[in-house]
Structure 1
Amino acid sequence: MSGWQPIHTVYVPADRFTAATVTTWGQEALDLLHKHLPSADELASVFDVPLDLARDVHPRVVAKLTDEPIEDVRIDFEDGYGNRPGQEDGHVAAAVAAVQALHDAGALPRRWGLRVKSFADDEERSERTLRLFLESFESLPPGFTVTFPKVLEESYVPRFSSLLGSLGSELTFELQVEDPRTLPFLRPGLDPRLAAAHFGVFDYTASLGLPPHEQRLDHPACDHARNLMQTAFSTTSVELSDGSLAASPASDAASDVHALWVRHARLVRHSLSNGFYQGWDMHPSHLVSRFATVYAFHLTTYSSYRERVDAWEAQSQVAGVMDEPATIKTLAAALRRADSALGSR
């Protein structure tokens, strides 16, 4: 990976992914914002932030949705796509054409890739789709990765890594933690190609027998799994990402759109406060609440963190604060993360 971590990953079923996907998502999100969140006043009310902060956040969200609505995208050949044995090859070809068109237009997200089928479901299909896709490019655009879902056995990891190695020496992958059986073999050095671990909330909670209304990112069982992921990879460069909210506005009425944003923002804040700075977005409406929440999160503490780091470097002290070296290291990392999230290309 490049060292830059995206704020989010957008998952689009392969049969719906086209060269217009990025533009369409951005425009739909902008339309929702202009209609239901036209000013800082509404943003302050819906997202429960101070008006001064909302005045900073609102134009940033507008600019982001205009300039780069999607930072990372996965063309999904797994759960979002389903089993289509007679159609998948054709959708692979269409996806290749769409990616190439986006790249040629300078509109391909900075990170992008596929989610293939799990080895637990159809190893042969997983390999075929990946091979067909990669071998269709004369030159693979930068930023590519592949998501490997439902890693139920440790043996899947070296097998998938070996497959990637046969297709390109620099290829990396991210595994999904979607089952308790994955947690015991997460550790530093699991595989040199492993670049990220993404949490899959719905399969994970279903595997525990949780009822549907409890299959949510802020359930204590999910907090436990994410903490084990953090512990396993704390000494590595493996990126961590949270999962998704499988919901969209019930209608175009302001009350329904606002309700969705409030619900999604609460989950994003929960992820951020627990050290997961990336998550999945499944609908254009999620882009508004994602960026608004992430920007507010970083801006709320930016000045105070900067003051404390500067004071430490000047060998002075902020009134009422006694920072330890470990805290300063964490503050500096938070500032770098904020700069990345709030900045531009």
Structure 2
Amino acid sequence: MGQQRTVATTLTRAVTERIGASLAGVDAELARRYPGDPGTRQPVHTVYVPADALTADTPRSWGDQALAALDAHAPDAGAFAAVLGIPDDLAGPVHARVRAKLEREPVEDLRIDFEDGYGPRPDDEEDAAAGRAAELVARACADGTATPYVGIRMKCLEAAVRERGVRTLDVFLTALMDAGGLPGGLVLTLPKVSYAEQVAAMARLAEEFEKARGLESGRLRFEIQIETTQAVLGADGRATVARMIDAAEGRVTSLHYGTFDYSAACGVGAAQQSLAHPAADHAKAVMQVAAAGTGVRLSDGSTNVLPVGPTPRVHDAWRLHHRLVRRSLERAYYQGWDMHPGHLPTRYAAVYAFYREGLEATAARLAAYVARSGGEVLDEPATARALSGHLLRGLDCGAVDAAEVAGLTGLSRADLDRLAGRAG
């Protein structure tokens, strides 16, 4: 054995300590602003239902209507795959999982709408609707039929509707508290945000409600809908959405792109308004960069082309929706809005095919990374986070099973959480 070589250095320990001290503020700021993924399930969609159309069996009704659409327009795996262009080897597994999902849990996130889908109503009518919505949510939570995530979209905080929006939020939350408390999957959506000050005001409303009802600080969090141009680019030329995340002081859970309001604000004609329009891609790219690392998640918008009518028309609408969902997934937008029960089959078909088609290759790359065995691709820690995150999202939505993933990777759910940088 040779003698151990002495490593020579020039800088003193004091220099290193001074550098560390000079960056202590930056270290704290990075930890505060960029905590990383929250480690919780993200729904694959949000279903939008006007408050006056809500019933106790709305989620089950949507699932039944989606199953009926499948039976009427694509009665077997081969027919469904042929419409959507799903590869033959995935046709059976995807079709079976879509049907099982529609039977078991057709809606992952239900948003009761008091904004555009509900419109202006007399105050007593909206008060009653908000109280009724809370009653239905509380009852569903009590009997085990609630969707995993549920909440309301209030009217915005612009001057014309501000008092009405605040009152509806108050009536809904108060009724939930009086009925036994807030559900774990409660989600609140603030639409048509233009300035960071509106987000700060929403955060203050949440704080005041928490204090008044003895809730822990931070219990109430909310989504921001990005559907005005001012939410993306401010008058000073800076990205407004980043300031909105900061203004919420940790209360923002996600950013939701509003397809039609944003497109119209940009002057896009009605026939060209789409998730795939360049104006939409620009807005969503800004949102994506602003949210990266913050723990704030992203949701794409919706299509207003409904799969109704004769079979050829339904097939055309299905192909459009499937293509748009797939496109969003490829661009790391793992959630979107669905406007009609007929959208559910193609939502889940696109999601399940996306996570299943590369399952073996993804698992092999991750297993090779963990084993340090190389493989055909030399992956880095950041890519390992992406690979494990991909598998976790597939597990959360039911596209893949834990036993499948464990068999292919040798990794448990806790292992995947750790590799993905999730809290678990």
Could you state the TM-score of these two structures normalised by the residue count of structure 2? Answer: 0.78
User: 297, 302, 305: which one pairs with 2:354?
Assistant: 297
Q: Which amino acid aligns with 1:269?
A: R
User: 316, 321, 336: which one pairs with 2:373?
Assistant: 316
The corresponding residue for 1:284 is 341
1:137-189 deviation digits (Å, cap 9, x = unpaired)? 22222211210000012210111111111122301000000011012222253
2-side partners of 1:279 and 1:237: how far apart?
18
1:97 deviation in Å?
Answer: 2.1
1:40 deviation in Å?
Answer: 1.3
The answer to whether structure 1 residue 68 and structure 2 residue 125 are counterparts is: no
- Worse overlay, 108-117 or 162-171: 162-171
Q: Is the 8 A contact 2:197 2:247 kept in 1?
A: no
The corresponding residue for 2:255 is 197
For 1:177-192, list aligned pairs within 5 A: 177-183=226-232, 184-187=239-242, 189-191=246-248, 192=250
The corresponding residue for 1:332 is 388
2-side partners of 1:234 and 1:209: how far apart?
28
2-side partners of 1:247 and 1:93: how far apart?
32
1:35 deviation in Å?
Answer: 1.9
1:250 deviation in Å?
Answer: 4.0
The corresponding residue for 2:187 is 145
The corresponding residue for 1:131 is 170
1-side partners of 2:140 and 2:395: how far apart?
27
Q: Which amino acid aligns with 1:43?
A: F
User: 95, 98, 108: which one pairs with 2:133?
Assistant: 95
The corresponding residue for 2:72 is 35
The corresponding residue for 2:145 is 107
1-side partners of 2:139 and 2:326: how far apart?
35
For 1:232-251, list aligned pairs within 5 A: 232-251=290-309
2-side partners of 1:142 and 1:109: how far apart?
11
1:122 deviation in Å?
Answer: 0.6
Which runs of no fewer than 5 residues in structure 2 stay unpaired? 1-37, 211-216, 233-238, 403-424
Count of residue correspondences: 343
The corresponding residue for 2:222 is 173
Q: Is the 8 A contact 1:40 1:51 kept in 2?
A: no
SS of corresponding position for 2:166:
helix
Q: Is the 8 A contact 2:298 2:333 kept in 1?
A: yes
SS of corresponding position for 2:155:
coil
Q: Which amino acid aligns with 1:185?
A: T
Q: Which amino acid aligns with 1:122?
A: V
User: 150, 156, 171: which one pairs with 2:198?
Assistant: 156
SS of corresponding position for 1:155:
helix
1:218 deviation in Å?
Answer: 0.5
2-side partners of 1:44 and 1:26: how far apart?
20
1-side partners of 2:115 and 2:39: how far apart?
26
1-side partners of 2:42 and 2:137: how far apart?
21
- Worse overlay, 242-251 or 200-209: 242-251
1:105 deviation in Å?
Answer: 2.2
- Worse overlay, 87-96 or 284-293: 87-96
1:33 deviation in Å?
Answer: 1.1
Structure 2 CA distance for partners of 1:163 and 1:2, relative to 1, 3 Å: farther
Q: Is the 8 A contact 2:135 2:175 kept in 1?
A: no
- Worse overlay, 310-319 or 297-306: 310-319
Percent of aligned pairs with the same amino acid: 42
1-side partners of 2:108 and 2:65: how far apart?
16
CA RMSD of aligned residues (A): 1.6
Q: Is the 8 A contact 2:47 2:110 kept in 1?
A: yes
1:2 deviation in Å?
Answer: 7.0
1:270 deviation in Å?
Answer: 1.1
Q: Is the 8 A contact 1:302 1:338 kept in 2?
A: no
Could you state the TM-score of these two structures normalised by the residue count of structure 1? Answer: 0.96
Q: Is the 8 A contact 1:116 1:129 kept in 2?
A: yes
1:248 deviation in Å?
Answer: 1.3
The answer to whether structure 1 residue 9 and structure 2 residue 58 are counterparts is: no
Structure 2 CA distance for partners of 1:2 and 1:103, relative to 1, 3 Å: farther
1-side partners of 2:383 and 2:130: how far apart?
47
Which runs of no fewer than 5 residues in structure 1 stay unpaired? none
2-side partners of 1:235 and 1:196: how far apart?
12
1-side partners of 2:64 and 2:139: how far apart?
19
For 1:209-288, list aligned pairs within 5 A: 209-251=267-309, 253-288=310-345
Regions of 4+ moved over 6 Å: none
